[in-house]
Amino acid sequence: MDFLTDDAKWMCEALRKAHLAADEGEVPVGAVVVVDGNMIAACHNLCETAKDATAHAECLAISDACRALGSWRLENATLYVTLEPCPMCMGAIINARIPRVVFGAFDARAGACGSLINLPSYPLESRPECIGGLMEEDCRRLLTDFFAKKRKKPEK
């Protein structure tokens, strides 16, 4: 992976987590938190498994990163996520003071980094830089394939 940029390297890690989510029947979204070139948290969606609407990959990764660093402030972190964060996750990102978010697929229905709404543009505690579209085709294909398979399976 030496030829990959750091951002692409970490997005590949987030995609690995998203594939795990798909394997578990979860919406395939993965998230990774990186500080000083080190991955300190990596999670995937667990809403179905945990029966918890807040168990999005980003929120879980933020919680793990806070525990790993012993602080709720992640001021030196970058969050990599395969899908544009929703308003709930973007709120957690802002509250954790994460200065930079890199995401793969845009989400016109629920994206809070500019697709539907742009929470970082509001005068809140912090205004993270959001960079979207990294490895977008891979991230989007994983999501569309997952939902296509789900629609083909009869409900039990």
111 Cβ contact partners less than 8 Å away, ≥ 6 residues apart: 84, 85, 86, 117
Whole-number Å distance between alpha carbons of 127 and 147: 32
Tokens of 151: 């629609």
Contact 30, 17 (CB under 8 A): yes
Find the distance separating the first CA and the last CA of the chain, reported in whole Å.
42
Backbone φ, ψ for residue 150 (5° rounding): -65, -40
Per the residue annotation, which of 24, 26, 58, 129 is the catalytic one? 58
Pairing of strands 129-132, 38-44: unpaired
Establish whether 58 is a catalytic residue: yes
Catalytic residues: 58
